Amino acid sequence: NKKFTVNSFLENKKNNEKISMLTAYDYSTAKLLDNAGVDSLLVGDSLGMVVLGYEDTLEVTVDDIIHHCKAVSRGAKRAMVIGDMPFLSYHINVEETVRNAGRIIQEGRAQAVKLEGGKEILDKVKAIVKAQIPVIGHLGLTPQSVNVFGGFKVQGKTLESAKRIIEDALLLQEAGVFAIVLECVPEKLAKIITEKLDIPTIGIGAGKYCDGQVLVTQDMLGMFTGFTPKFVKKYANLNKHIENATKEYISEIKKGVFPSDEHVFSIDESIIEKLY
Ligand code: KIV
Ligand code: NA
């Protein structure tokens, strides 16, 4: 199966073929998802919340993303690997932005980067694109702006904010991004944006009209017991499997059932006699 690339994103949109994306943060999971045929793996800064246990994504650093990108890239054979640019890595100036994006490609071995925002980051987007690094945009509920939004809320519900998101999407396309993630926006707004753009939209909580979909893998696999957003569909309940397996493991240790004969190594009895 041939590698999924930036061209595949655009071809899929042209051919009305939906694009699948999932987050990944480690080698073994990346390998599983890649083998299952997912088109694209995002090393998202959701890493902070999902893997590192932070309250939000703001604590994640470029080094964190690179560390996990390396692992995911080693596990992804066909899927395109995208590294998220964390908070503060593209906010200072163009030079730092290009350096950080470049490190995610060079050290992390990702094939593209993603950053949040529209109009206010166009100069940064253009500079990264100019450095020959493919860029994905991210509009709507951009979690790095949680303190500005005052929480994780659906965006683009008023005429003004809906217009702003459409305008940002067009500006990002003009700046050279090859796809845009739309997070937590009304389905019909995402439809309009998807129709207006030549590049694909990847939705999360943005409905069925997007050109592709992305979910956080741990959400999709049901590995959490806590709060699950409305837009998440759980395709498995791994938390139950993990809990049951762990309880059984503990219980078998306590009862002396595990390890049994099949799990142990033997030694010649004549040697054992000399050891007493
Ligand atoms: O960090 C992340 O996982 C993301 C996706 C949810 C789009 O940005
Ligand atoms: Na993210």
Let me know whether 255 and 162 are in one domain. no
The 3-state secondary structure of 213-225 reads EEECHHHHCCCCC
63 with 173, same domain: the answer is yes
Query: 32 falls in which pLDDT band (50, 70, 90)?
Result: very high
15 and 132 belong to one structural domain: yes
> How far does residue 44's CA lie from ligand 1's centre (Å)?
5
Using 50, 70 and 90 to split pLDDT, how confident is the model at 226? confident
116 annotated as belonging to a binding site for a ligand: yes
Give the pLDDT confidence score for residue 227 in this predicted structure.
Answer: 80
Q: Are residues 245 and 233 in the same domain?
A: no
Can you give the pLDDT at residue 164? 98
Q: Tell me which residue range forms the domain holding 199.
A: 6-237
Which strand (E) or helix (H) includes residue 135? strand 135-140
Average pLDDT over residues 223-246: 93
> Average pLDDT of 263-269?
97
pLDDT tens, residue by residue, 71-95: 999 999 999 999 999 999 999 999 9
Residue 189 CA to residue 162 CA, distance in Å, equals 7
Is residue 1 in a domain? no
Residue 192 Cα to ligand 2 midpoint, Å, equals 23
Supply the residue whose CA is at minimum distance from atom 2 of ligand 1: 44
Task: Work out how many domains the chain is built from and give that number.
Answer: 2
Q: Per residue in 160-219, pLDDT tens?
A: 999 999 999 999 999 999 999 999 999 999 999 999 999 999 999 999 999 999 999 999
Residue 224's pLDDT is what? 80
| The two three-digit tokens of residue 163, written as one number | 């217009």
Same structural domain, 69 and 124: yes
> Cβ(42)–Cβ(60) under 8 Å?
no
Tell me whether residue 183 is one of the annotated catalytic residues. yes
The pLDDT score that the predictor gives to residue 1 is 76
pLDDT digits (tens, 9 = 90+) for 87-130: 999 999 999 999 999 999 999 999 999 999 999 999 999 999 99
pLDDT averaged over every residue in the chain: 97
Do 186 and 270 belong to one domain?
A: no
Q: Which ligand is nearest to the CA of 213?
A: 1
* Whole-number Å distance between alpha carbons of 149 and 30: 32
Mean pLDDT of 15-28: 98
Per-residue confidence (pLDDT) for residue 78, from 0 to 100 = 98
- Residue 45, pLDDT score: 98
Q: What is the pLDDT of residue 225?
A: 77
Q: Looking at residue 150, which CATH number applies to its domain?
A: 3.20.20.60
Which DSSP symbol is given to 221?
T
Whole-structure pTM value: 0.96
Gap between the Cα atoms of 143 and 212, Å rounded = 20
Q: Quick one: 93 and 218 in the same domain?
A: yes
- How far apart are alpha carbons 232 and 68 in whole angstroms? 23
Same domain, 141 and 16: yes
Residues 146, 87: Cα–Cα separation, whole Å: 11
Backbone angles phi, psi at 117, to 5 degrees: 125, 170
Rounded CA separation 85/97 (Å):
9
Are 248 and 160 within one domain? Answer: no
114 is annotated as contributing to ligand binding: yes
**175 burial type by CB count under 10 A (0-12 exposed, 13-18 middle, 19+ buried):** buried
